[in-house]
Structure 1
Amino acid sequence: MAKSGKSNPATCTPEELDEIITAPSGGIQMLPSNAYDEVYPGIYIGEESIGKSRIGLRDMGITHVVNTAMGKGQFHVNTNHVMFKRVGIQFYGFEAMDMLNFQLTPFFEKSANFIEQALNEEGKVMVHCKVGASRSATIVLAFLMIKRYMTVQEAVRMVRAKREIAPNEGFLQQLCDLNDKLYYSGYFDKKPT
């Protein structure tokens, strides 16, 4: 329902996004084949092993880390700002569950601002979760939409070209909702040329 009276050619569904994600693998959902991948200049998506490797991150030139799966449970990665401060890496993290009904939307703006700050400082950002496919991918996709004026379809195509991702259906719906919000506010029309 177009608030501005115009129809949204960028409207999406989780099914459409899933088709974009699975197209390169013949319609099959694939888990990441690498511990991490650079999916946009200066932005990496990774799994727990690299997210916990302070020395490995430092040696890669990572200056900022976003842990989208903070916590001590089986599906979380137990890191914090103290362990990264020792190696000069700035840290932002939050506890999120990879569940259909978990709301990641409240973390979109703050995460996007943190990533943007890192890039503005010519830094490199590792955004990670447990597997590096759902929570972390969703946050990077939201960043590309909010800070790089990409539609959700453009963002998904770009990231999927670099890494196998698998945001759950609930997260895909939240990205579609963000896409609609940005579209109807005229945000995509403000894209710098």
Structure 2
Amino acid sequence: FFSLCWWVPPCKPGESLVSHVPWTPATMHRGFVMTESNPMDEILPFLFVGAQLAASDVNYLQENDVSCVLNVSDVDYGNCYPTHFLSTHVPMCDYGECSLTKNLPQCFEFINSARSSNVRVLVHCQVGVNRSASVAIAYVMKHLNCTLRQSCKVVKDHRSIVYPVDNYLQQLIDYEKALRGETTCSLKDMQDIFRAGCPNMFNTPGFKNFKQPCLGGESDDEGDGELGSDNSLPSFGRNSQPSF
């Protein structure tokens, strides 16, 4: 499904793993080669989305004032954090077969607990593209009262490589319908939103012939990246209260 390969030389005592590793991996995700300069990105003042690499580096987390870690990958990495850190594991499968809506309440409770305590939380999966992004999009949609289009814009604008698999995209569409009584995106709209602005993903050798069942094949129209006129976004205060 993807391969993420780099060689990590030994760290010196007290050295940050993230600063030590040249963070330029090529990530094969559904046939797309992606590169990213940051192992995690700030989506909201209290919410980061990122990769396992960021979650595994306590020094890097402390440098960014992150003391809560939500792991939504299917691997339990255990608790390797200092006593003042909080961490939890809500396993989600990478292909999107599990129910997103069944996992969201536990994820939201953890995020809101960090938010109400005025601390920052990292939501991570393996590479910070699919599962953690899906949780972040759903969180913005529910607790900041945004449409699905707005929520996707917030997350993608801050972490350009996010691209949930089709199963999670459809669940996000269904989730918006449950929350708002209407949908603002079709599956095709969602694919176009996440494809926009990612030239590395669509100009790679062999992409033309690549077909992935979960993606449903290459679209004839990659879209122009327009998110529509529904782009007015609320202010995101770290201390603002979530809306239920």
TM over 0.5: yes
The sequence identity of aligned pairs, in percent, is 23
Q: How far does residue 87 in structure 1 lie from its aligned partner after superposition?
A: 4.5
For residue 175 of structure 1, the aligned residue among 166, 172, 175 is 172
Give me the whole-angstrom Cα distance separating, in 2, the residues matched to 1:46 and 1:180.
27
Higher Rg: 2
Give me the whole-angstrom Cα distance separating, in 2, the residues matched to 1:153 and 1:83.
36
Aligned pairs for 1:140-159 (under 5 A) are 140-159=136-155
- 1:95 — aligned with what? 91
Give CA-to-partner distance per residue, 1:66-116, whole Å, 9 cap, x none: 100142xxxxxx423x322x2411112122111142322211122112111
Q: Which has the higher helix share?
A: 1
Matched, 1:68 2:72: yes
Matched, 1:48 2:52: yes
Contact persistence 1:67–1:94 (CA under 8 A) = yes
Aligned pairs for 1:77-92 (under 5 A) are 78-80=76-78, 82-84=79-81, 86-92=82-88
Give me the whole-angstrom Cα distance separating, in 2, the residues matched to 1:31 and 1:123.
30
Tell me: CA distance 1:30–1:145, structure 2 relative to 1, closer, same or farther (3 Å). Answer: farther
Partner amino acid for 2:162? I
Contact persistence 1:30–1:166 (CA under 8 A) = no
Tell me: CA distance 1:30–1:141, structure 2 relative to 1, closer, same or farther (3 Å). Answer: farther
Give me the whole-angstrom Cα distance separating, in 1, the residues matched to 2:164 and 2:59.
28
The unaligned stretches of length 5 or more in structure 1 are 1-28, 72-77, 186-190
TM-score in terms of structure 1 length: 0.72
Contact persistence 2:74–2:93 (CA under 8 A) = no
Tell me: CA distance 1:134–1:88, structure 2 relative to 1, closer, same or farther (3 Å). Answer: same
Contact persistence 1:32–1:132 (CA under 8 A) = no
Stretch of structure 1 that moved more, 100-109 or 147-156? 100-109
The unaligned stretches of length 5 or more in structure 2 are 1-31, 183-241
Matched, 1:138 2:134: yes
Tell me: CA distance 1:69–1:100, structure 2 relative to 1, closer, same or farther (3 Å). Answer: closer
Q: How far does residue 59 in structure 1 lie from its aligned partner after superposition?
A: 2.7
Contact persistence 1:31–1:133 (CA under 8 A) = no
Q: How far does residue 119 in structure 1 lie from its aligned partner after superposition?
A: 1.1
Aligned pairs for 1:97-116 (under 5 A) are 97-116=93-112
Partner amino acid for 1:69? S
Contact persistence 2:96–2:168 (CA under 8 A) = yes
Q: How far does residue 32 in structure 1 lie from its aligned partner after superposition?
A: 5.6
Query: Which structure has the higher relative contact order (CA within 8 Å, separation 6+)?
Result: 1
TM-score in terms of structure 2 length: 0.57
Contact persistence 1:43–1:125 (CA under 8 A) = yes
Q: What is the number of equivalent residue pairs in this alignment?
A: 152
Give CA-to-partner distance per residue, 1:20-67, whole Å, 9 cap, x none: xxxxxxxxx674612111011111111111111123212321121110
